[in-house]
Structures are given as structure tokens and as C-alpha cells.
Structure 1
């Protein structure tokens, strides 16, 4: 693991968190016990109307999955972050997040008032709790990333959750190319077929890393990514809206 670690913490399953990452910092997520799923959204803290754009991210890189070498775009054509290290190989950005009704149907209803920290939180409400801290709400939700999760597509278009995609100590590291508000949760993936509510935690390491070079793998993996880095440069120069 390269780069100087600035902060480390374990995030238990069924929890949520938010923080702002500076440019030239990185977030490494490590699956503690296997089978983790981390839902994540991105916003520009200087302009909260700018947020993660899953369709453009996948379309411009001609991919259905996210892995090393991919960049994650905002709806302004800029790059929030890049995947620089990845032992998993497949991360989902099409399936959305779990809801209260999904969790209750699969694993039964529990609430915080009755069960305290053993209650069964869902991804949508977890996002909303964190978004509210920044004056954001339901209308600000967007399609999210699900780190560590693999989703296959059948011939009929049906989505299938692939069990065992992430093993214990598997990791993904994302380098931030601009200041970014990160909203995340460790609630179950909406398609997870687990019999019991999956309390799967991750370790988070926040690091200081060098900026992308002209020969950076993420910059060169697609021509569109090169243009995305140019948009970032203009933004940092104050020439981009």
C-alpha cells in the first residue's frame, strides 16, 4: 500500500459515514470478512448540484463494471476519483441501493428504538441521514456505486448477484482528483440473497498520495479520461464553472 496513511477506521456492517476528501488523497477500502458491499455517492462540496453520474461514467469508458483504471465522473464532465488499485476486479454501478421495504421483506423489520445498534438499516435511508448533514435530501439522491459487488446480466436482461465476489482482505483504492464530498454506507446490496442480514464491515484508510502523472494508467485507459483530466485542470485553474 503506497502513500502516507492519514487516518484509519473500521466501519461495521449496516452503518453510514460521510467526509470530504481533498485532491491528491486516496481512500482504500478493505473487506474485513468477505462479502462486503459499500454504497457510495460523490458530490462537489463547493457546488452540491454537481454529483456522481453513473451513466456517463460507464458509457464514456465502454464498461458495465468498475475496476482498476476506471474514472468516476461528475455530471459536469469532471473526474471525482480514479480506481488506482483493486484486488476484486468488479464493482457494481447499476443496481442502486437497498430500501426499507427490501430489507423488511428479506430480513424482517427492526427499528432503532427497539433494537438500538442491532437494527437493520437500509441503504436509501442511510444515504438520506448523511445527506441531511449537508442540506441535501431525496431529490439529491443519484445512482450510486456498490464497491465489492458483482452483478451479472442474463440473456433476458435480469440482474444476478454473484455471491463470493469479494474475499476477506480484498481491497479497492480510489484516488481523488478534486475535492469531493463522499457519502457511504455498509448496508446490504439490494440483490443480496443472504439468508440473514449481512453485517459486513470494511476497513477505511485515508491516505495522502501523489497526483496523477501524464502516464497515469487511469488517464490513459480511455481517450475520454484524458479529456476528463483536462476538465479537472481547467476547474482547478478557475476556468471551469
Structure 2
């Protein structure tokens, strides 16, 4: 075994050891993916529909108990998301904590998204593909210039700057984003790649807000997407009233870390 392979194996062993110690109990098994094409929504629960054109962004306020459905009704595209607490925008999405606290970078139905205050911002209540990126982040002017001819083309970073300014925030307030429908894979030697079959027409994800939020979405190609042309498809967004969670709600009980996150929400009045 090479020195690099030995180091990877040792790091993996140490990670599993810390994971067992940190969890203290076995997490609940997560279900399979939601059916592609979407779980039907009650028309009375729908509050707003939006289509984000390829290359553009959108912002919205989201109340606790409301949800966003992001759906690929027009074909594959990646959607970058950042969010802030509406009560105090200095509290914001933290994808590093989302990964560390749940001991996985694989976001799928049953997982939650954490803020930098250890509280839960979103629950993933439905998800048809489980191909989302919490490692790489979004595109910027330099990454677009290196990949696409005929630019400049709109990019995630500049879109999120505009979104932040539109909501009264500043570029300094922008956290690292999580990208939905971005099938990033990690190879056996730790190299990042792209699984083009990971997302398809009809895929969707439902994100239930667990506190009042300000949300920004950007529809630009992911930096690892190997497609040679800059041609992101439109993305459909639906804001709706989610069904109130039961006491044994999967997202709230799947892991001891999620339980603690919701206890932190309750302590803060969310």
C-alpha cells in the first residue's frame, strides 16, 4: 500500500472512530428517494410559483413551516442556495457544520441544513435524487472564463452578491453555498468528479424552513459540470405550506445531532 493510500486508510479509520463516539447511538435508517416527478402538492397549500431562468437568481422570505420545492421541470440544472435567519442575518447557512455535524456530505431526504449557530434552518423532507453538493461551492467569473467561450457569463458568486444587496445585506454576509442537483462524487483517492447520470428531468427536492429565513437561489452551471456549453435550463420553484411535522418526524429524529439542533431551535424560540 502506498503512503498516500495508508494515510487515507488511517484517516478513514479515525473518522469512523470519532463518528461512533460522537453519535452515541445508531441513526435511523433513511428512506429511498422520492418518486421522480414530484409528490403532488395540495393546491390550497401553494403560496407562490417562480421560474428562475438559466443564469439568473431569485430571493424570497420564508416563514417557519413553509417550504420550497426546487424542481427540474425543464431538464438538468444546478441550483445554489444560501440562507440567513430573518430575525438576525448574522446567523447564516453553514455547509461545513451541515457536513461535520451529520458525519456525511451526502445530503438526501431525512437530512437537515444547519446554521453557524448550531440550529436547523432547513429539513429535506422530499428528494428524488440525493445528488447535491456540500463540498465545492458555486461558480465565479474566473471559473466560468476558464470553462466557457464567448463570455462573460453570469455566475453564482456575482448572482449571490446581487441577491444579498437586494435583501439589504452585503457581500461580506454571503456564506458558502450548497448546490442542489449537483452530482459531485468523491473518488477512492479523494478526487472530486461528476456523475452526469445523478440528476435528470423531473428531479426535485422539498426544503422545509425550520425558522423564518431570507433565501437566495442562483441557477448557474456548477464548476465541475463538464458540459462544454453555457446553457443552464430554467428551474421551477414553488413556495408552499408544509404539513406540520409529527413527533417522530424523520428529519427531527434521524440522528442525535439533528435532535440537538432542534433543541437549539426551541431554546431560541423557533
Assess same fold via TM > 0.5.
yes
- More contact order relative to length (CA 8 Å, sep ≥ 6): 1
- Name the counterpart of 1:122: 155
Distance across 1 between alignment mates of 2:249 and 2:202: 26
Listed one character per residue, the Cα deviations across residues 119-170 of structure 1 (whole Å, up to 9, x for unaligned) are: x200100000111123323322222110011111123322112113211111
- Name the counterpart of 1:116: none
Contact 2:165 2:171 in 1 (8 A): no
Q: Is it true that 1:209 corresponds to 2:261 in the alignment?
A: no
Report the alpha carbon displacement of residue 12 of structure 1 after superposing the two structures with TM: 1.4
Contact 1:33 1:167 in 2 (8 A): no
Distance across 2 between alignment mates of 1:10 and 1:148: 16
SS of aligned partner of 1:50: coil
SS of aligned partner of 1:9: strand
Q: Which has the larger radius of gyration?
A: 2
Q: Is it true that 1:105 corresponds to 2:146 in the alignment?
A: yes
- Name the counterpart of 1:115: none
**Unaligned runs of at least 5 residues, structure 1:** 112-119
Distance across 1 between alignment mates of 2:208 and 2:49: 16
Listed one character per residue, the Cα deviations across residues 190-222 of structure 1 (whole Å, up to 9, x for unaligned) are: 111111003222111110123322100101111
RMSD: 1.4
SS of aligned partner of 2:193: strand
Do the aligned partners of residues 109 and 46 (structure 1) sit closer, same or farther apart at CA in structure 2, a change above 3 Å counting?
A: farther
Distance across 2 between alignment mates of 1:134 and 1:6: 20
Structure 1 stretches of at least 4 aligned residues deviating more than 6 Å after TM superposition: none
Q: Is it true that 1:190 corresponds to 2:199 in the alignment?
A: no
Q: Select the residue among 46, 63, 80 that pairs with 1:39.
A: 80
Taking structure 1 as the reference length, the TM-score comes to: 0.90
- Comparing both structures, which one devotes a greater share of its residues to helix? 2
Distance across 2 between alignment mates of 1:10 and 1:17: 9
SS of aligned partner of 2:90: strand
Once the two structures are overlaid, the 10-residue window that deviates more, 180-189 or 163-172, is 163-172
Distance across 2 between alignment mates of 1:109 and 1:142: 29
- Name the counterpart of 1:114: none
**Unaligned runs of at least 5 residues, structure 2:** 1-39
Q: Select the residue among 255, 265, 268 that pairs with 1:222.
A: 255
SS of aligned partner of 2:91: strand
Contact 2:50 2:237 in 1 (8 A): yes
- Comparing both structures, which one devotes a greater share of its residues to strand? 1
